[in-house]
Structure 1
Amino acid sequence: MTPTHAAPAAATAGLDAERSVSSVSPQARRHLQMRKDALRAHPDLRALAGPDRRTALAVPLLLALHWGVAWAVSGSNLLVVFLAAFCIGQFIIHAAGALVHETAHRLIFRGDRSKLAFDLGLETILGSFSKQLTYQHEHLSSHHPFIGDYERDYEHEDLCAFKAREMLVHDRPRLQRVLTIATLFVHLLPFGFIISDEIFPRIYERVTGHTARDARRDIASSKPPIWQRRLFIAWSLGVNVLLLVAFGFYGWLYHNWALSIFLGKFGISNLGQSLSEHPGDDVETPTRSTYGWINRLLFNTGYHNEHHTFPNVAWTRLPDLAQAAPDVFSARADKSYLGYWWEHVKGDFKTSRRNPLQGQDQSARCPKLDAGAGTAAQAEA
């Protein structure tokens, strides 16, 4: 949902943190400097800032398309439902997720009430059970001000999960390949990403003897208020009941299967976009953009370098930003979303991706299970 915005009131602290140069990561500081340099060379860029309310029209269009597919498959079979979810549904969900990104930054509506109404409209498409609110807060208070910082940026892969795969690749490569294939299979199932998160970390812990989750990591992002979470959970429950009543089991299944695929390993555009955006340790060029036809479907989320440098510019004006300052925005991703997704899938067989804390002592972060239990007991005491 990268995943990942009009800032909720509690999350505006993330924007304030971003403006405080002393409190942000080196990569975030680089974007602040890029913004200053761009405004110095092109002062007219200031005119591009601000929300675009016309974006609200996209919600009924996406909802009609999504529920239209649900109606179309309601009298079909499991294979047709799966193909519709894989080939159409996940990309509709991604488009709605791109709008979550816009509303988190308050680039559609500034006011709290109008933003809440818009977000509930998105929840009618997504049925996220309030997870879109979690994303909005984490994106603003964790990702933007602390981009590239493993401890604070929620987009970083968990170190212990990485280390568990790395250990198996080195010691038991055949077993790692089997687990990768099993993970991919589970992620094709309805609610597969939830099942996977419950099963595979425990398997990795059993076979490696080390914890597969970094319990010491705390990104300390802001959180949505309880009343808002409850409202969105209730709204999602209502949406699921309505889907079931209006389109039957297969129509309901289509929606939830599409959401599951989007959030899992087979979320081709979602995972591919996330992998394409940030190299990880490049302070000089912390963010890359993807240009081309995909932005017509995903509300210009490919203009990611432009967005991180000018997060107050709505998606409709990001191409104007890139065109007006080509000397500033020249960092392009070297592959398509599909290319990054395929590289990621192959990398899971041999753990070729960069270690999140390369060169640092990681034994304390991912201890043996007995040592981890002792550490946890000491922490409680």
Structure 2
Amino acid sequence: MNGISVTANGADRTHVERRKLILEKYPQVRELFGKDPVTFKITAAIFVGQLVIAAILGSLGLSYWWLSLLMAICVGAFANHANFVIIHDAIHNCVFDSPLANKWTAILADLPNAFPTAMGFRCYHIKHHSHLSAYDYDADIPSRWEVEWVGNSAWRKAVWLFFFPAIQLARLSRLKGTVPIWGTWTYINIGVIALFDLFVLWAFGPNALLYLFFSFWFSVGGLHPLSARWLQEHFAFGPDQGTFDYYGPLNTLALNIGYHNEHHDFHEIPWNRLPDLKAMAPEFYDDLRCHRSWFALLVTFIFDPTYSLGTRSENVTQAAREAPVIAPAE
């Protein structure tokens, strides 16, 4: 099943249409909707694990910064990346029934980042769903200055990926119609993270905090294979598909974030039930192109001049000329 459907403002409506078709054919998909409190237990376990590692590294002193870097790349990045997925599910209220409990779950998952991200993410992520690929609303779309500066240069694409955490933050100023970033919960998020960072410094020393920051950085950017997720999700690797899945071995550690078409079709389904959705309605997903390796995608994107940051925007423009999603053949 191929084709992208867009609105007049450039928003990709493919997922809305496919959702409707799936529900018409498989109404039992609604049984997958709901909450998964087990996710909170995973959050708590990651928090404790990251704090223990940070404490051990902190006891070694700042001269072991290199070990903090190595541990962050090999262990911490995967832990913090899983926490980002938990933040994502909490923002969609897929952990608890209570919106308040979901907000605090997101903040708990944010603590090992040593940098406040959860509530800022909450402010713009819903627009990413409702206005997917629309430049003025979707923070996942590269800003025009990014597209112009990076071009299809390999070294500039590598620099862009390395500094992606900071670049993503810089995009927020261009967005329209989002929830105001500087709200009560953003201040709470900042305050809690600041107090936690001060505690880590006081209790374990600077190398502990450095480990947590490295873990945050390489979970999102830093040319870590995990950073290829930002390429996998919506960069155009074909003219007639706007969202791509990742079905590789790291999905287990990444809490199924690779099931991205499935998530955009049904954001009410928690992360651990997304494979069930694909199994329930396979004909809607099996023919979509997907990625099997984040590392291979990372290397391809950097060194293949065919791909640039403009690929994402160009795909949406071209999508306006494509046919909308149609139901797959029986």
2:308 aligned with 1:353: yes
Letter in 1 for 2:88: H
2:252 aligned with 1:296: yes
Q: 1:23 to 1:115 in 2, by over 3 A?
A: farther
Alpha-carbon displacement from aligned partner over 1:44-78 (angstroms, at most 9, x marks no partner) = 11111111122111111101221122123221612
Alpha-carbon displacement from aligned partner over 1:152-189 (angstroms, at most 9, x marks no partner) = 2210112222213339x6xxxxxx85x677x48985xx
Alpha-carbon displacement from aligned partner over 1:251-305 (angstroms, at most 9, x marks no partner) = 1111112222333332421x21111112449685332211243121111111111
Pick from 43, 49, 56 the counterpart of residue 59 of structure 1: 43
SS in 1 for 2:34: coil
Where structure 1 has 5 or more consecutive residues not aligned to the other structure, the ranges are 1-20, 170-175, 199-212, 360-381
Matches within 5 A, 1:1-381: 25-27=10-12, 29-74=13-58, 75=60, 77-129=64-116, 131-141=117-127, 143-166=128-151, 177=155, 183=159, 194=166, 217-224=174-181, 226-269=183-226, 271-280=227-236, 285-330=241-286, 331-346=288-303, 352-353=307-308, 355=310, 357-358=313-314
Cα distance in 2 for partners of 1:301, 1:257 equals: 21
Cα distance in 2 for partners of 1:149, 1:339 equals: 28
Q: Is the 1:295–1:302 Cα contact (8 Å) retained in structure 2?
A: yes
Q: Is the 1:162–1:351 Cα contact (8 Å) retained in structure 2?
A: no
Cα distance in 2 for partners of 1:327, 1:90 equals: 34
Alpha-carbon displacement from aligned partner over 1:207-244 (angstroms, at most 9, x marks no partner) = xxxxxx99995343223562222211111111111111
Alpha-carbon displacement from aligned partner over 1:320-339 (angstroms, at most 9, x marks no partner) = 11111101122242341112
Cα distance in 1 for partners of 2:69, 2:274 equals: 35
User: What's the TM-score, normalizing by structure 2?
Assistant: 0.81
Cα distance in 2 for partners of 1:118, 1:162 equals: 35
Cα distance in 2 for partners of 1:281, 1:109 equals: 36
Deviation at 1:112, TM superposition (A): 2.9
Cα distance in 2 for partners of 1:299, 1:215 equals: 26
Letter in 1 for 2:21: D
| Larger Cα-atom Rg | 1
Q: Percent identity?
A: 21
Higher RCO (C-alpha under 8 Å, 6+ residues apart) = 2
Deviation at 1:319, TM superposition (A): 1.0
Cα distance in 2 for partners of 1:73, 1:197 equals: 29
Aligned length: 306
Counterpart position of 1:204: none
Cα distance in 1 for partners of 2:28, 2:260 equals: 20
Cα distance in 1 for partners of 2:49, 2:173 equals: 43
Where structure 2 has 5 or more consecutive residues not aligned to the other structure, the ranges are 1-5, 316-330
State which drifts further: 279-288 or 248-257: 279-288
Cα distance in 1 for partners of 2:198, 2:140 equals: 32
- What is the CA RMSD across the aligned residues, in angstroms? 3.3
Q: 1:159 to 1:119 in 2, by over 3 A?
A: same
Q: Is the 2:124–2:179 Cα contact (8 Å) retained in structure 1?
A: yes
Counterpart position of 2:318: none
Q: Is the 2:72–2:218 Cα contact (8 Å) retained in structure 1?
A: yes
Q: Is the 2:146–2:309 Cα contact (8 Å) retained in structure 1?
A: no
Cα distance in 1 for partners of 2:161, 2:270 equals: 38
